[in-house]
Chains A and B, each alone.
Chain A
Amino acid sequence: MATTKLPSSADALLGAAADAAKPPAGMETVTMPYGVPGYTLHDVQRQVPTTEPPVLPVNADLEYIGKSPKRWDAHAKVSGSGRYTADIQLPGMLYAKFVSSNVPHAKVVSIDTSAAEKVPGVKGVFVIENLLGGARLLNPSLEVSKYPIVRYAGQPIAAVAATQPHIAEEAALLVKVQYDAKPFVVDMEMARQSDAPPVFPGPANQGGSAGGGGGARNVPQTGNIHGPAVHKRGDVEQGFKDADFIVESKYTTQVQVHNALETHGVVADWKPDLLTVWASTQGTASVREELASFFKLPKSQVRVITEFMGGGFGAKFGPGNPGVVAAALSKQTGAPVRLMLDRKEEQLSVGNRPSSDQTLKIGAKKDGTLTAIQLISFGTAGCGTGAGCAGPATNLYQSASLHTEENDVFINAGPAAAFRAPGHPQGAFALEQTIDELAEKLNMQPLEFRDKIDTNPVRRVERQIVRESALWKSRNPVPNADRGPIKRGVGLSQSVWYRHIVMDSAAEVRVHRDGSVEVLSAVQDIGTGIKTVMAQILAEQFGVPPQQVSVKIGDTNYPVGPNSGGSVTTASLTPAVRDAAWQAAQKFLVSVAPALGTTPDDLVLTKGEVHSKSGHMQPISFRRAAAKMDTSEVSAQARRIPDYDPKHYDTYGGVDVAEIEVDTEMGIIHVKQFFAVHDCGRPMNPSQVINQINGGLIQGTSFALYENRLIDPTYGLMVNANLDLYKIAGARDIPKLHVQLVESYIAQSSTDASGIGEAAGIISAAAAIGNAFYNATGVRIRSTPMTPSVVLETLSKAPQRSNA
């Protein structure tokens, strides 16, 4: 989704009101809140289906939605009773272990599994002939091979299933793979050279996943360079001629590995009439779809269950090789098979965030008007594609012209996957520092310049909040003002993300005669708390506390749910849940009206009580009314309907301010705090939203300062495929985090919710730290991770200043 493009019309961004014409049949005109309370809140008219529930007022006027009840499954998570995939134990279950390549590029000549098969306890060995992931040759006949060509060290080749994990591990070592080694390249700079060993012998393409990622298809390919994918708007040559100031710089970012706390894994149980798969996935729907397709099964015979999962960040769509291999081994052995990756496999074979090497050039007139933005980027997604990073440069600011060229560079490393805001942390790192650099040339302050070139009305409010904050006021606008070796800096970055909606989002709500209510959907909780939000919606409808609502999700036996990628889950699913709850409530009123001696249209259910509009009876509680139902259960299923005004395209974003200290003698950056101001439509559960922003800022800080996949260029093997030397921010590395949410009503659905996962700080953290570094030291840092090595080298190139 890195290549998402916005409508260029400023009207669309500014939110022109929908046509106020007479609604067609089945539709009605409603008045909805729009804008930011306290700043821009006003009413707008929307035409909506008459089956929609009443318009929700702003959060301040609601009882459960927009509040922060405790996480619905908090007890299950902290007590360990929540079942993750690795907790699943089935009778007779086997444990599988991958055999992976330890060479970066080779043709597999032969695979001898006989010794492994003889190990007592081994029940099956499966050799992979159809490998998933990475780009594929357009013309497969360029490579004739019985087995998939090995294109990276750590590529799965086969798997062994045994009665005990250690037997599987031992047997996997006995599978003899004979390689015909090919020349390889693991360094992007080397791969760009014309004489570099080719990763593919011809053009190759890769599609994206449900969560984005993937790259441009069918673009030129020369050697290992797949691209450019070119996007143009206006005439940049003229734009640079028109500019009074031009800033052009090169920025580089590293490969980051997802490293979710829970590794990829499945338990597959193949029975003649049903394949059941417990998967650590962010898309039960995607796992079901792809397994059915791979094994040519009807979807009705594939069931996917994800009760709890420990994070995905974009890398856990579809079954992938672990899912396919576990299912195949289960089919082969007739027993359930568990295949959980270890941390090394996780780092090598199931995705990463591509690197970037960006040359960004921006021109502006003296008054700040942007005349041209040009971005030429290269990045490596290993043996896959998806290294584009032009999203921020394309979508954050108004410019008279734009020219972007995105290139993927193939290397012999594991394929990338969508990773939380694909392309955007990289793109923002270059863009937001360049914007600051340009502001300085224009003699404008960072907020003032952005006010000029960013027309998004919500970010305008966010900048105002930043402007008034104590942290921003404490910023010394003069760079390198501190005289000692420890220099303080404050800097900011903006972020942008997009409104994606998945229409395959449905839910069923049931009301029982005992007054209990439940909601069911196949949606999985990637960890962000959708269960709590679903419970809140039913609570608001039925007046029952959220903890008393039954939430059943993560099972494809329930109505289809969205895959959680692209920040879609809350925005896509919650209107379906509310619609189902509303419709179930209407059926409930029909069911109780006779016993209450009135008609359904005389009744209304509000705040946990059934009222008679005509005053026919005193209000009675929902529970007492339920006892009078004429059936033991009523239920309603609803699916997502389109946004009320799909022409109206909203984006989300934020303005994040970092305060850092740079130890200029040691080269150590210490991030002291972030002040982060963000919007995501209607915050359904503010504390869960803040949780996500906290996580994004932490992950962004970790990307900015520490994380780096390191591959030895001579041997082609990753040297830090662990959590010891692949460095992720720990407790003392995490700054103080202050998040301020901006409620931003956009009048698009029955909940008016939006997403937050990707706009949540990961986009802007590195850029804000970069701008703070300049504020502290007067020197631009253009490379991540900003380790002592990079910081000291950056400072050593600075013009000498006299420091007392």
Chain B
Amino acid sequence: MNPFVFADCTTESGALAQLSQNAKDGIVVKAGGVDLLDRMKEGLESPTKLVNIRNISSLRGIRETPEGLHIGPLTTLAEISEHPLIQSQYTIFSDACGNAATPHIRNMATLGGNLLQENRCWYFRSKDYQCLRKGKEICFAFGGLNQYHSIMDYGSCPAVAPSSAAVGLLGLNATVELTSAKRGKRVVGIKELYVLPEANPTKFNVVEPDELLTAVMIPKPAAGTRSAYQKYGEKQSFDWAIADAGVVLEMDGNTCRRAVVTMGAASPVVRRSPQAEAALAGKPITEETARAAGKASMEGAQPLSMNAYKVQMFPVAIYRTVLLAAGQMGRDPRAAG
């Protein structure tokens, strides 16, 4: 580990100034430090300067606005999962944050850090593998050990989207605010926050080196909205999702007016399933329609050599989570989190 400068910032402007001074490789933002510390220990990241934003109080907290919710990126996953309004009105989001990692990590991990963490592919995470995502030519996962990798939409790199929070936010049509000292603020959608490997294999998200993620905005759900998220892993405690499902239902009596179905562990970037959504829209929520949505979600799935089992798990995760969101089934006691 190389020596580095630790720049402790207490204001947003101070942090932005640090980033704009010399916006080049080697300056890294540190929030909770959960993902960054792992990458530094493995030697994947050797920053010359760490800009610590953890103590910027203006970037922390949950605020209700006329449009919906405004969440500071330094709010912890634990704070989000315990927030009564989020639990009742934005359930998919509190579920997603509350079932990530472990209680200890949720107390340290920030929303911004969770959204911007890098993928967990074991080849990417090892300094011994110089893979596509490190600017080289080979993806080792296609011909290697890929039991936890993507089953659809993977293009040149099948690492799965690591952020559970993003699966919840995508379901709620959330946006994030990115701020640069020079260029000011811009707002991008959750899906647009991420970069597909074929677009740029070495860039995981659109955040520029001089930008900070300064807010997450969630629009107020339409009347009659119910939502839920569930994640399944090999273990129930402290495991990454191998199948997960976010479901938002806009109900009109017994009929589902509109549905959003999101998945994280299926592909390199969080995705919605238009097929699953179409299977629910305009229909009553029943076991039959929920199962049909699950089945439809796997249209186009192309499992790798070792992960066909995930194609069996996702439809079940979606079916159970649709019924959970609709209040027709309890939370699965065997789900992870």
A residues engaging B (CB < 8 A)?
102, 153, 166, 169-170, 173, 661, 663, 665-668, 670, 705-706, 710, 712-715, 717, 719-720, 724-725, 727, 729-733, 785, 787-789, 792-793
Contact = CB atoms under 8 A, between A and B. Distances in A.
Contacts of A169: 1
A727 B236 CA distance: 11
Given A732-B237, A793-B309, A719 B334 contact: no
Interface in B29-48: 38, 43
Contacts of A173: 43
Nearest to A787: B234
Contacts of B232: 666, 668, 788
A720 B309 contact: no
B145 A719 contact: yes
What 7 pairs across the A-B complex have the smallest Cβ distances? Answer: A730-B237, A719-B122, A732-B236, A732-B237, A789-B309, A665-B316, A730-B238
Given A166-B1, A732-B237, A785-B234, 6 more contacts: A153-B128, A667-B309, A710-B122, A719-B144, A725-B120, A789-B306
B242 interface: yes
Contacts of B306: 789
B239 A714 contact: no
A666 B318 CA distance: 11
A705 B2 CA distance: 39
A733 B102 CA distance: 13
For chain B, what secondary structure do more than half of its interface residues adopt (helix, strand, loop), or is it mixed? loop
A254 to B, nearest CB: 13
B23 interface: no
Contacts of A666: 232, 243, 313, 316-317, 334
A144 to B, nearest CB: 28
A719 B123 contact: yes
Q: How large is the interface on B (under 10, 10 to 19, 20 to 34, 35 or more residues)?
A: 35 or more
Interface in B236-261: 236-240, 242-243
B147 interface: yes
B290 to A, nearest CB: 13
A727 B234 contact: yes
B122 A705 contact: no
Contacts of A706: 234-235
A730 B235 contact: yes
A733 B242 contact: no
A720 B120 CA distance: 11
24 contacts: A102-B128, A166-B3, A661-B334, A663-B334, A666-B313, A666-B317, A667-B312, A668-B232, A705-B234, A712-B123, A712-B145, A715-B128, A715-B129, A715-B144, A719-B144, A719-B145, A725-B148, A727-B234, A727-B235, A729-B235, A732-B235, A785-B234, A788-B232, A788-B313
B126 interface: yes
A789 B147 contact: yes
A725 B122 contact: yes
Contact of A670 (B129, B144, B334): B334
Contacts of A733: 235-237
Contacts of B240: 725
Nearest to B312: A792
Interface string B209-249: 00000000000000000000000101111111011000000
B329 to A, nearest CB: 12
A710 B145 contact: yes
A720 B236 CA distance: 18
A170 B140 CA distance: 27
B143 interface: yes
Contacts of B307: 789
Nearest to A791: B309
Interface-central residue, A173, A666, A724, A793, by most chain B CB under 10 Å = A666
A773 to B, nearest CB: 15
Contacts of A727: 234-235, 239
Contacts of B316: 665-666
B164 to A, nearest CB: 15
Contacts of B147: 789
Contacts of A725: 120, 122, 148, 240
Nearest to A710: B145
A792 B123 CA distance: 26
B321 to A, nearest CB: 12
A710 B38 CA distance: 20
Interface-central residue, B239, B243, B306, by most chain A CB under 10 Å = B239
A731 B237 contact: yes
Interface in B79-128: 102, 120, 122-123, 126, 128
Contacts of B237: 729-733
A788 B238 contact: no
Contacts of B126: 717, 719
A795 to B, nearest CB: 10
A785 B147 CA distance: 14
Contact of B234 (A665, A724, A788): A788
Contacts of A732: 235-237
Nearest to A788: B309
A731 B140 CA distance: 33
A788 B306 CA distance: 12
Nearest to B315: A665
Contacts of A102: 128
